Structure 1
């Protein structure tokens, strides 16, 4: 099996693996999420594969909620120490917070709900509805755009006194 196939399998199996651990420990979604300091709806979406594998910082929070080590959850997520995406201690002033992520989720949900109206983006398909695959691709693209625009805005508009010496 290639490394690409392994990564794809990790992404597809991560949510169910987290759910299995939570169930074995007899935690509810709400209990685990509250222990982690994240929203129960976010947790549920991860478990039900409605979200991709979260960022390392959020994975660390989820590990706390499940009472497992960071290494265990990173292994489940397919993240190893030799990869560049292994979490670091420091963070940047422009990194997205949980609140930013929730705001992006809300904006994205509103945009996706707008696709179903008669006055939506359906005109790109000659009046036909977008397929589920097209909607997923559009959603992923919009998420990246929203995240990048929020980070750029933070970089541009954060006063120097809150930048922790970063430029």
Structure 2
């Protein structure tokens, strides 16, 4: 899959077209379409990856894992929790040990994560 194809797939999941996303990112309206024949700069690639919450490696086709983390991110439990919260807030199905979670279970897990994050933020400020 090309960069453009991956971006198109991600855009469909957000129910947006490439022109809308280009403008939201501050690019020219046809910028994303230009990726059919041109490679993006590293800063624009990073901006696109951040927008879709995927890795640049995924966009470049180096991995099929959309959420691969850098070594720095792997050690930051806060970022992992943020990604979990994003997943819980999405409309997509969420599984827990292979079993689908109900909306009530998702809400309970989200509340627990938010409490834990807040406690850890307060503790880290005291240190």
TM superposition score normalised by structure 2? 0.41
TM superposition score normalised by structure 1? 0.32
Q: Which has the higher contact order (CA 8 A, sep 6+)?
A: 1
Which structure has the larger Rg over C-alpha atoms? 1
